[in-house]
């Protein structure tokens, strides 16, 4: 699954969003990569800090708290923030201010490597009959997608200006299994997610690299040729779920789930209409 034996572990690795769905997965799978794994979220975590772990609860919207969070770490795996579509006001603090605070703290404390949980919702308005690579113009499908697009711009800026290298993973659908027809194309297994994070942490000279996060599915909408230097080789496939998915009632042909790469996100909201 990974190549931990080929790498010297970081002394202290920060994982934000450690209480979230993917954060819980990475809390387990990133242990070989750090002598101390610093875990952070806005809510309490269970279980509490174990051996070779430390926990710091904090709000990404709080610049001072994030500065303390980043102090003393060697690299950052940034999975914190809101992970679904919500109002712009709900997204603003954790996702937009939050990632700015992460990069500012990285600059102040000399952290030179970030792995950023971006999203396929950065390009969600492309149709499912299109295949794109990382050079395609961004077409965010939501406030959430906009926040991830902003994060990619920050990553590019902080590399060009301060030399902080980032791998932005445009995560497809990372769950224990593919849950619908769209996810047959976007599914990313937990093992393949861990491999992507590992490659993001240890591949030299990445600058700002954008890589699409999908497993070795029968059909994928994304071409990762511009991230070949990461040597990401997905091992899993959504085909194991095909019979279960095809037994479900199929959405209408004009349903966003069947038309756009971003699926239902393209139609969520607005949230403040009376």
Catalytic sites, residue numbers: 144
- Between CA 124 and CA 110 the distance in angstroms is 34
Place of tokens 């794994």: 37
Element (H, E) at 29: helix 21-29
Q: Which two tokens stand for residue 150?
A: 């902003």
Query: Is beta strand 75-78 parallel, antiparallel or unpaired with respect to 165-171?
Result: unpaired
What tokens appear for 51 in the block?
């051996």
Distance CA 7, CA 5 (A): 6
- Report CA-CA distances (Å) from 50 to 23, 36, 75: 15, 10, 20
The whole-angstrom separation of Cα 93 and Cα 104 is 15
Largest distance between two CA atoms of the chain: 57
Tokens of 35: 């002598």
Spatial CB neighbours of 64, under 8 Å, sequence gap ≥ 6: none
- Separation between Cα atoms, residue 171 and residue 211, nearest integer Å: 9
Cβ–Cβ contacts within 10 Å for residue 237, how many?
17
CA-CA distance, 212 to 125, in Å (whole number)? Answer: 15
CB 185 within 8 A of CB 220: yes
């Amino acid at each position: 699954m990974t190549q931990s034996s080929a790498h010297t572990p970081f002394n202290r690795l920060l994982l934000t969003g450690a209480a979230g769905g993917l954060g819980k997965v990475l809390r387990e799978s990133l242990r070989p990569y750090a002598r101390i794994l610093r875990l952070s979220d806005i809510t309490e975590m269970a279980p509490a800090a174990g051996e070779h772990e430390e926990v710091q609860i904090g709000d990404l919207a709080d610049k001072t708290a994030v500065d303390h969070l980043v102090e003393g770490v060697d690299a950052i795996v940034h999975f914190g923030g809101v992970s679904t579509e919500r109002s712009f006001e709900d997204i603003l603090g954790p996702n937009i201010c939050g990632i700015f605070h992460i990069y500012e703290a990285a600059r102040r404390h000399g952290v030179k490597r970030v792995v950023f949980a971006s999203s396929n919702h950065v390009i969600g308005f492309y149709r499912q009959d299109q295949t794109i690579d990382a050079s395609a113009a961004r077409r965010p499908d939501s406030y959430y997608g906009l926040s991830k697009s902003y994060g990619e711009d920050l990553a590019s800026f902080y590399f060009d200006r301060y030399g902080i290298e980032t791998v932005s993973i445009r995560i497809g659908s990372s769950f224990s299994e593919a849950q619908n027809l769209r996810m047959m194309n976007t599914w990313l297994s937990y093992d393949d997610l861990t491999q992507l994070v590992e490659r993001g942490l240890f591949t030299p000279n990445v600058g700002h690299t954008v890589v699409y996060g999908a497993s070795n599915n029968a059909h994928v909408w994304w071409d990762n040729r511009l991230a070949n230097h990461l040597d990401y080789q997905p091992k899993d496939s959504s085909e194991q779920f095909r019979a279960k998915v095809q037994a479900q009632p199929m959405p209408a042909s004009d349903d966003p789930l069947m038309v756009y790469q971003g699926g239902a996100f393209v139609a969520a909201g607005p949230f403040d209409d009376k």
